[in-house]
């Protein structure tokens, strides 16, 4: 019987084939593309347009503010989880946010194409800011959609990999290809074309499946959750209200700080504008403390009080303890209470993995061009080809390989291998920093040097291609596993809030660490920096091993999708 069971078990290739033929993967590719395209257009290509329009650097610095929408998207993530948009709610819980955001983004890009950045800079910057906000909102909803619709066929691992493929391809279209198109037809026409693409994706998205969580049954489940707050054994209403007031004050304060900074930047003269980098370095850590660390401690305290039977209801309440307070508590605090209550002290280990696993490439990205152009003396065209075209291809190949590994060896094994490879590829750059003799030997051995020289390019481009290709291949494998793992540890019931918090931490910690890394580059040079980032990456590998051990100890299969809150983990 055991042999028959093994014989009937589908191969990894068949599992992968079924997943790729599922309509959800097709929409995931579209949504991933729609998620990455605005980011490339608002925080990358836009600066090339502004430069061509002769907008001064001080004014361009203000446009970096729109990146805050992505860094602090978790601040409004509870809205996406719990609020319906009138007129769109029939589309589904997630699509009611995804489709309008895509249509708004498309309309904004088309409108921007009709404006002159020099004569209408105020309206131009306002549209870019609104677009970044809509883009970040779309990202929250798309990540939650991916977690919601995952099933045994279109698994969370495969959907996460396909999402990143779409995202990376859009960065190529909106970045390098956007520059090529603009050189031929002009920037207004290029942005109009990109806007039409997003409008088309928004229209096609109307037919995407959704979690269907706005049905009567799900509404009943939502009402049941509210009713449970007033049953015996739950935290007393007065204690909940005080905890909610603390968390709400912390989040409101953080939002207020960000808004004040943005208003000052947009309304002040260039010489009086606050520095965006200084703001992120000085206020970013405190915003993390106020919006993540302290609320998590409050949530942990509430979960502990409930377990101990302290500050809880002795008997059921006849009516609601407070309609508004109950809804706010469920939107703001309950996702954290569920998260901390489910994971306990394991959350410390999970947060450590989140803060370290992708920190190498998150920090390094800012200094890539200074390294390529300044330190190694490559030309703009050489760097564009190696990093944008060849490099993106290597990432997509890495993602494909990572997706295949997820189906064959499982999530945690892929996460571990990806982490090791991503850490060790920093040594490739360390070699380039001291002459690149080893990278040159590799490019010679595989025949890439002769191929590049035969195409009429500088032979030294080959070793840069080998270096970037090796790193991006590793990043693709690590990225596929990391997003799948990150998605697996959140609850479907609170996916938008929990995932937005974790993903924002990944982005913010990289942003905060760049200042110190820049100083180290100035003082010690690039070689020592790459050795340091290698050790940081290997430290993350150790944490992944501990996380894998934790999951095994808890009896969890590393390839299982995270359950609904309070439900047992289903077997694959």
Pick the CATH number of 19-214 from 1.20.1250.20, 3.90.550.10, 2.40.40.20, 1.10.1740.10: 1.20.1250.20
Computed over every residue of the chain, the mean pLDDT equals 81
List, for residues 260-270, the tens digit of each pLDDT value. 877 776 666 66
C-beta neighbour count of 525 within 10 angstroms: 13
What is the rounded distance in angstroms from the CA atom of residue 163 to the CA atom of residue 74?
A: 20
**Which two structure tokens, joined as six digits, stand for 499?**
């995932």
Higher-pLDDT residue of 430, 336:
430
The per-residue b/e assignment along 312-347, b for 16 or more CB within 10 angstroms, e otherwise, is bbeeeeeeebbeebbebbbbbbbbbbbbbbbbeebb
Query: What is the predicted pLDDT for the residue at 177?
Result: 85
Task: Assign 321 a pLDDT band (cuts: 50, 70, 90).
Answer: low
Radius of gyration of the chain (CA): 24
List, for residues 523-558, the tens digit of each pLDDT value. 788 898 889 889 989 999 999 999 999 988 887 443
Q: Are 132 and 485 in contact, with CB atoms under 8 Å apart?
A: no
| pLDDT for 564 beyond 70 | no
Query: What is the predicted pLDDT for the residue at 2?
Result: 43
Residue with tokens 């430290």: 539
| pLDDT for 563 beyond 50 | no
List, for residues 86-133, the tens digit of each pLDDT value. 888 888 888 999 999 999 999 999 999 999 888 887 788 788 888 988
Higher-pLDDT residue of 559, 17:
17
What is the rounded distance in angstroms from the CA atom of residue 58 to the CA atom of residue 466?
A: 37
Q: At what angle are helices 411-424 and 526-553 packed, to 10 degrees?
A: 170
Task: Assign 13 a pLDDT band (cuts: 50, 70, 90).
Answer: low
| pLDDT for 48 beyond 90 | no
Q: Are 515 and 433 in contact, with CB atoms under 8 Å apart?
A: no
Query: What is the predicted pLDDT for the residue at 565?
Result: 37
List, for residues 413-470, the tens digit of each pLDDT value. 999 999 999 999 999 999 999 999 999 999 999 999 999 999 888 899 999 999 999 9
Task: Assign 319 a pLDDT band (cuts: 50, 70, 90).
Answer: low
What is the rounded distance in angstroms from the CA atom of residue 22 to the CA atom of residue 17?
A: 9
Higher-pLDDT residue of 534, 517:
534
Q: Are 491 and 565 in contact, with CB atoms under 8 Å apart?
A: yes
DSSP helix/strand/coil, 402: helix
For the chain, helix (H) and strand (E) counts, in that order, are 30, 0
Q: Are 136 and 73 in contact, with CB atoms under 8 Å apart?
A: yes
Average of per-residue pLDDT across 489-504:
82
Task: Assign 495 a pLDDT band (cuts: 50, 70, 90).
Answer: confident
The per-residue b/e assignment along 41-52, b for 16 or more CB within 10 angstroms, e otherwise, is bbbebbeebbee
What is the rounded distance in angstroms from the CA atom of residue 103 to the CA atom of residue 517?
A: 39
| Best-predicted range by mean pLDDT (198-202, 381-385, 407-411, 558-562) | 198-202
Q: Are 140 and 80 in contact, with CB atoms under 8 Å apart?
A: yes
Query: What is the predicted pLDDT for the residue at 440?
Result: 92
pTM of the shown model: 0.77
Average of per-residue pLDDT across 355-378:
78
Query: What is the predicted pLDDT for the residue at 57?
Result: 59
Higher-pLDDT residue of 464, 62:
464
Query: What is the predicted pLDDT for the residue at 266?
Result: 62
Q: How far is CA 171 from the centre of its chain?
A: 14
Angle at 125 between CA 122 and CA 131, to 5 degrees: 140
Question: 266: alpha, beta or left, given left = phi > 0 and alpha = psi -120 to 50?
Answer: alpha
Q: What is the DSSP letter of 561?
A: P
Query: What is the predicted pLDDT for the residue at 103?
Result: 95
| Best-predicted range by mean pLDDT (49-63, 194-208, 386-400) | 194-208
Q: Are 36 and 28 in contact, with CB atoms under 8 Å apart?
A: no
**Alpha carbons within 13 A on the beta-carbon side of 199:** 12
| Residues 6 or more apart in contact with residue 520 via CB below 8 angstroms | 528, 529, 532
Query: What is the predicted pLDDT for the residue at 351?
Result: 87
Task: Assign 478 a pLDDT band (cuts: 50, 70, 90).
Answer: very high
Sign of CA dihedral 530, 532, 537, 542: positive
Name the strand (E) or helix (H) holding 300: helix 294-308
Largest Cα separation within the chain, whole Å, is: 82
Which is nearest to 142 in space by CA: 191, 90, 100, 194? 100
Q: Where are the domains positioned within the chain?
A: 19-214, 236-342, 345-566
Name the strand (E) or helix (H) holding 484: helix 461-488
C-beta neighbour count of 409 within 10 angstroms: 15
Query: What is the predicted pLDDT for the residue at 377?
Result: 86
Q: Are 500 and 140 in contact, with CB atoms under 8 Å apart?
A: yes
**Which two structure tokens, joined as six digits, stand for 313?**
């209801």
| Best-predicted range by mean pLDDT (198-212, 225-239, 430-444) | 430-444
Q: How far, CA to CA in Å, does 207 sit from each of 24, 26, 59, 203, 533?
A: 10, 11, 41, 8, 44
Bridge partner residues of 312 (DSSP): 235
| pLDDT for 568 beyond 60 | no
Task: Assign 411 a pLDDT band (cuts: 50, 70, 90).
Answer: very high
Bridge partner residues of 235 (DSSP): 312
Assign domain 345-566 to its CATH superfamily: MFS general substrate transporter like domains (1.20.1250.20)
User: Which parts of 83-152 fold into alpha helices (H)?
Assistant: 95-113, 121-149
Burial class (CB within 10 angstroms; exposed 0-12, middle 13-18, buried 19+) of 217: exposed
Q: Are 466 and 538 in contact, with CB atoms under 8 Å apart?
A: no
Task: Assign 7 a pLDDT band (cuts: 50, 70, 90).
Answer: very low
Query: What is the predicted pLDDT for the residue at 567?
Result: 37
Q: Are 481 and 415 in contact, with CB atoms under 8 Å apart?
A: yes
Q: Are 402 and 409 in contact, with CB atoms under 8 Å apart?
A: no
Sign of CA dihedral 83, 88, 93, 95: negative
| Best-predicted range by mean pLDDT (41-50, 71-80, 185-194, 255-264) | 185-194
Which is nearest to 390 in space by CA: 183, 173, 172? 172
Query: What is the predicted pLDDT for the residue at 110?
Result: 96
Task: Please determine whether the domains at 19-214 and 345-566 fall in the same fold group of CATH.
Answer: yes
């Amino acid at each position: 019987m055991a042999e028959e069971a093994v014989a009937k078990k589908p191969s990894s290739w068949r599992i992968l084939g079924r997943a790729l033929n599922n309509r959800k993967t097709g929409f995931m590719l579209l949504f991933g593309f729609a998620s990455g395209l605005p980011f490339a257009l608002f925080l990358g290509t836009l600066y090339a347009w502004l430069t061509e329009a002769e907008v001064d650097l001080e004014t361009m610095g203000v446009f970096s503010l729109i990146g805050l929408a992505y860094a602090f998207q978790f601040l409004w993530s509870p809205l996406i989880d719990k609020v319906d948009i009138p007129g769109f709610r029939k589309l589904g819980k997630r699509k009611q946010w995804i489709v309008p955001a895509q249509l708004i983004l498309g309309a904004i890009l088309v409108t921007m194409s009709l404006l002159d950045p020099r004569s209408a800079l105020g309206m131009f910057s306002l549209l870019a800011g609104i677009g970044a906000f809509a883009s970040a909102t779309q990202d929250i909803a798309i990540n939650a959609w991916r977690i919601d619709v995952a099933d045994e066929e279109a698994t969370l691992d495969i959907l996460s990999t396909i999402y990143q493929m779409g995202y990376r391809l859009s960065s190529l279209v909106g970045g390098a290809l956007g520059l090529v198109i603009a050189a031929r037809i002009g920037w207004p026409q290029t942005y109009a074309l990109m806007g039409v693409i997003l409008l088309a994706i928004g229209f096609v998205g109307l037919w995407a499946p959704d979690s269907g969580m706005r049905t009567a049954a799900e509404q009943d489940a939502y009402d049941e959750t509210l009713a449970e707050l007033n049953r015996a054994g739950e935290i007393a209403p007065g204690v909940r209200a005080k905890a909610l007031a603390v968390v709400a004050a912390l989040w409101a304060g953080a939002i207020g700080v960000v808004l004040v900074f943005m208003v000052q930047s947009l309304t002040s003269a260039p010489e009086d504008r606050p520095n965006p980098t200084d703001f992120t370095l000085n206020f970013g850590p405190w915003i993390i403390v106020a919006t993540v660390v302290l609320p998590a401690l409050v949530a942990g305290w509430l979960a502990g009080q409930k377990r101990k039977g302290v500050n809880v209801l002795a008997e059921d309440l006849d009516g609601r303890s407070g309609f508004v307070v109950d809804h706010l508590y469920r939107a703001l605090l309950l996702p954290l209470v569920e998260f901390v209550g489910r994971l306990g002290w394991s959350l410390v280990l999970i947060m450590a993995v989140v803060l370290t696993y992708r920190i190498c490439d998150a920090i390094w990205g800012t200094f890539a061009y200074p390294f390529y152009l300044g330190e190694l003396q490559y030309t703009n065209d050489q760097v564009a080809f190696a990093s944008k075209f060849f490099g993106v291809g290597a990432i997509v190949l890495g993602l494909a390989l990572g997706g295949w590994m997820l189906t064959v060896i499982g999530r945690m094994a892929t996460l571990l291998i990806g982490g090791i490879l991503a850490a060790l590829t920093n040594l490739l750059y360390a070699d380039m920093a001291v002459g690149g003799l080893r990278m040159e030997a590799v490019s010679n051995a595989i025949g890439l040097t002769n191929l590049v020289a035969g195409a009429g390019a500088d032979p030294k481009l080959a070793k840069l291609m080998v270096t970037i290709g090796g790193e991006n291949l590793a990043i693709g494998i690590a990225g596929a596993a990391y997003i799948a793992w990150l998605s697996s540890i959140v609850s479907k019931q609170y996916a938008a809030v929990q995932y937005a918090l974790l993903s924002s931490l990944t982005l913010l910690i990289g942003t905060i660490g760049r200042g110190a890394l820049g100083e180290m580059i100035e003082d010690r040079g690039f070689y020592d920096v790459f050795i340091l980032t290698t050790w940081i990456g290997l430290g993350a590998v150790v944490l992944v091993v501990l996380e894998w051990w934790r999951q095994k100890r808890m009896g969890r299969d590393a390839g299982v999708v995270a359950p609904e809150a309070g439900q047992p983990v289903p077997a694959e």
